[in-house]
Every structure is written in structure tokens, then in C-alpha cells.
Amino acid sequence: MITGKLIVEQLVNGLVLGCMYASIASGLTLIWGTMKMLNFAHGEFYMIGGYFVFFALNLLGIPGVWCLVISVAIVLVLGMLLEKSIIEPLLGKPGWELSPLVVTVGASIAIQNGALKLWGEHIKNLPYYIEGTVELMGVRLAYQRLMILFVTAFVMLGFWVYTKKSRFGLGLRAVAQDRDAATLMGIDFKRVYTVTFGISCAMAALAAALLSPIFSISPWMGHAALTKGFIAVVLGGLGSFEGAILAGVLLGSVESLAVIFLSSEWKDVVSFSIFIIMLTLKPAGLFGSKEW
């Protein structure tokens, strides 16, 4: 029976899912906006992020939240290393529209299979970082889910403020809007690219670290994450950070609410339908080709 309580519960689930999509999407759109490329290995950094939390928990035995921090930090560095090794050499060579995409597809395949070989194909489970629930306005909410909402909101907002107020953020926005002019200002665009790529991967890892206790981890978990993240990026408008977040949250909410009326197998149909409708009506997405 459909009650108000059910709707609120699914809405919260939707927001939590939306946080995951928003995190992944904002990383993708950050790379597109700044470097004008698509990172097809983005889902794999999501996957690695989840696995590193698992290993940190089992090897170090420290609380989940610290494993999250460690995992995000490691993925940040790994992302920067990947960019410097396979993306940076492509700069200035013809075919930039496609070459990073092709190279990251290759990286994606390599990382997925590497994970399969090293860590096995079995799905692993992670314990919640915070146990327990709280009751708010008649609805029971898990602390873990509230944590996901707060941490994601905090990080997204924090990063957005950082880009608007800091020197690095100024450099990032300048490179995104006019790379040559930025070079004339003394901004090293290669360094901006490397750090931005790392931050993007770290956002994906954050999403995985927050959500893996709920959704568990496997070597191919990146695939679905990338697909949904990409849909959210297009819905929000390529290159728009605000758009990616809004679209991610909306996508997650709509998916979860649709499950009330349709069975859960249909949730992907709902997402893809929204995707197709948006591409037909307003291909530029919610916030168009807004530069940031």
C-alpha cells in the first residue's frame, strides 16, 4: 500500500542514490569542462575506491570513516598518476577529441580485469560505518544514510566554494574557459589538468566509499556507476558542475520513487527514458553549455 511514509522513505533512498550519482557525475563534468575530454575509466576509480576501503578495514582495523579518507587519498594520487602517464602525452597531438577517450577505455578494461584477477569475482560486503537509526517525523532513518547525505553535500559545496574563492580555483576556471589566455597569465595548464583529473577520480572514490556498505563491491561495479553518472552529466549539461549535481540528485530521486509504482527491474528503464526524452527535447541539458 502506498503511504506517505513509504514515499518519504523512498525519497530518502533516492537522495542517497542521488548523492552517488551526483558525486560521480560532478567528477566527469569537471574533467569535461576543464580538459574537454571524457574519462571512460571513471567507473574504475569508483570501483577501486570501494575496494581500498574494504582492504583498509580488513588490514588496518581502523574505523570505517578513516578507511574512507585513506581510500579517497590513494585514488586522488592514482588518478594523477594515470593522467600524467597516459593522458598528458596526448596533449598537443592531433585527435584530442578522441585519443583520451580511447586510451581511458583501454585503462578501464585493464583495471577491471586487473581487479578481477587480483581480488576475485565474488561480491564483497562492507559493514556500515555508523550503526543505528534515528526517527525523524515518524520515519526511521539509518545514520549511515544521513552520513552519506551530509558528507556528499559538504564535499560538493566545499569544492564549489573552493573553485570560486581560491587561487587554484581561479586557475582551474581560467584553463577551462581559455587555455591559451590562461597560459599568458602564468597558469600551468598541465598541472591544472593533472590535479583536476585526480580530484575527479577522488570524487568517484568518495561516492563508492560512502555507498559500498549499502551496495557492496565487485570488480564490475564501475560500469553501472559510469553509465548513470554519464546520464546525469548529459541531463545537467556537459561541463556544468551545478547541473551534474542537480541532475544526479533528481535522477536518483526519480528512480527510487518510480520503484514504488513499478517493480525495481524497471528503474533503469525509467532512467534511460528520461535520458532519451532530454536528448530529444533539450540536448544541451538543464544548464546548457554553461562554462564554469
Partner 1 sequence: MLKLSQVDAFYGDAQALWDVELEVGSGEVVTLLGSNGAGKSTVLRAISGLLPIRKGAIAFNNIRLDQIDPFKIVGQGIAHVPEGRKVFPSMTVRDNLLAGAYHSNFWSKREETLENVFHMFPQLSDRRNQMAGTLSGGEQQMLAIGRGLMSNPRLLMLDEPSLGLAPKIVEMIFEIIISINKSGTTILLNEQNAHIALQVANRAYVMETGKITLSGAASELASNAHIRSAYLGF
Q: Which residues bind partner 1 (CB under 8 A)?
A: 167, 170-171, 173-174, 177-178, 180-189, 290-292
Q: Which residue lies nearer to partner 1 by CB, 32 or 292?
A: 292
Given the C-alpha cell 583520451, which residue does it identify? 100
For residue 8, give the C-alpha cell. Answer: 518519504
Q: Which residue lies nearer to partner 1 by CB, 86 or 170?
A: 170
Q: Which residue lies nearer to partner 1 by CB, 129 or 193?
A: 193
Q: How far is the CB of 61 from partner 1 (least distance, A)?
A: 43
**Among candidate residues 239, 261, 242, the one with its CA nearest the CA of residue 250:** 242
Q: Which residue lies nearer to partner 1 by CB, 55 or 168?
A: 168
Instruction: Tell me which DSSP letter residue 90 carries.
Output: G
Q: Which residue lies nearer to partner 1 by CB, 88 or 268?
A: 88
Asked if 27 and 230 count as a contact pair (C-beta separation under 8 A), the reply is no
Partners of 135 in the β-ladder = 140
For residue 139, give the C-alpha cell. Answer: 520515519
| Alpha helices (H) along 61-136 | 64-82, 99-119
From CA 223, how far away is CA 112, in angstroms rounded?
9
